[in-house]
Amino acid sequence: MSPQASKPNSLLIRDMHPLVAMDGADSQLCGGLIFCEDGEIKRVGKRPPRGLRAQRIIDGRFAVAIPGLINTHHHLFQTLTRACRDAADSELFDWLRTLYPRWARLDEETVHVGALAGMAELLLSGCTTTSDHHYVFPRGQSRLIDAEIEAARRLGIRFHPTRGSMDVGQSRGGLPPDSVVQDLDEILADSERLVSRYHDPRPGSMLQIALAPCSPFTVSQRLMRATAELAEKLQVRLHTHLAETRDEEAYCLRRHRKRPLEFLEDAGWLGGATWIAHGIHFNRREIGRLGRAGVGVAHCPTSNMRLASGIAPALALAKAGCPVGLGVDGSASNDSSHMLAEARQALLLNRLAHGASALGVQQALRMATVEGARCLGRSDLGSLEPGKRADIALFDLRDVGYSGAGDALSALLLCAPTRVHTLVVEGRVVVESGRLQTVPLEAILTRHNHLVSKVTLRRPLL
Ligand SMILES: [Zn+2]
> Given this model, what pLDDT does residue 333 score?
87
> Given this model, what pLDDT does residue 182 score?
97
The pTM is what? 0.97
Q: Rounded to the nearest whole angstrom, what is the distance from the C-alpha of residue 198 to the centroid of ligand 1?
A: 23
What torsion do the CA atoms of 69, 75, 313, 321 make, to the nearest 10 degrees? -60
Q: Rounded to the nearest whole angstrom, what is the distance from the C-alpha of residue 355 to the centroid of ligand 1?
A: 27
Q: Rounded to the nearest whole angstrom, what is the distance from the C-alpha of residue 170 to the centroid of ligand 1?
A: 20
Q: Rounded to the nearest whole angstrom, what is the distance from the C-alpha of residue 242 to the centroid of ligand 1?
A: 9
Q: Rounded to the nearest whole angstrom, what is the distance from the C-alpha of residue 454 to the centroid of ligand 1?
A: 23
Q: Rounded to the nearest whole angstrom, what is the distance from the C-alpha of residue 45 to the centroid of ligand 1?
A: 39
Q: Rounded to the nearest whole angstrom, what is the distance from the C-alpha of residue 132 to the centroid of ligand 1?
A: 9
The pLDDT tens digits for 369-394 are 999 999 999 999 999 999 999 999 99
Q: Rounded to the nearest whole angstrom, what is the distance from the C-alpha of residue 74 to the centroid of ligand 1?
A: 6
> Given this model, what pLDDT does residue 1 score?
42
Residues of the chain with pLDDT under 70: 1-5
Q: Rounded to the nearest whole angstrom, what is the distance from the C-alpha of residue 275 to the centroid of ligand 1?
A: 12
- Give the up-direction half-sphere exposure of residue 138: CA atoms within 13 A in the CB hemisphere: 13
Q: Rounded to the nearest whole angstrom, what is the distance from the C-alpha of residue 65 to the centroid of ligand 1?
A: 29
Q: Rounded to the nearest whole angstrom, what is the distance from the C-alpha of residue 333 to the centroid of ligand 1?
A: 8
* pLDDT > 70 in the chain, percent: 99
Q: Rounded to the nearest whole angstrom, what is the distance from the C-alpha of residue 191 to the centroid of ligand 1?
A: 19
Q: Rounded to the nearest whole angstrom, what is the distance from the C-alpha of residue 334 to the centroid of ligand 1?
A: 10
Q: Rounded to the nearest whole angstrom, what is the distance from the C-alpha of residue 308 to the centroid of ligand 1?
A: 14
Q: Rounded to the nearest whole angstrom, what is the distance from the C-alpha of residue 193 to the centroid of ligand 1?
A: 24
Q: Rounded to the nearest whole angstrom, what is the distance from the C-alpha of residue 135 to the centroid of ligand 1?
A: 10
Q: Rounded to the nearest whole angstrom, what is the distance from the C-alpha of residue 18 to the centroid of ligand 1?
A: 34
Q: Rounded to the nearest whole angstrom, what is the distance from the C-alpha of residue 232 to the centroid of ligand 1?
A: 23
Q: Rounded to the nearest whole angstrom, what is the distance from the C-alpha of residue 50 to the centroid of ligand 1?
A: 49
Q: Rounded to the nearest whole angstrom, what is the distance from the C-alpha of residue 305 to the centroid of ligand 1?
A: 13
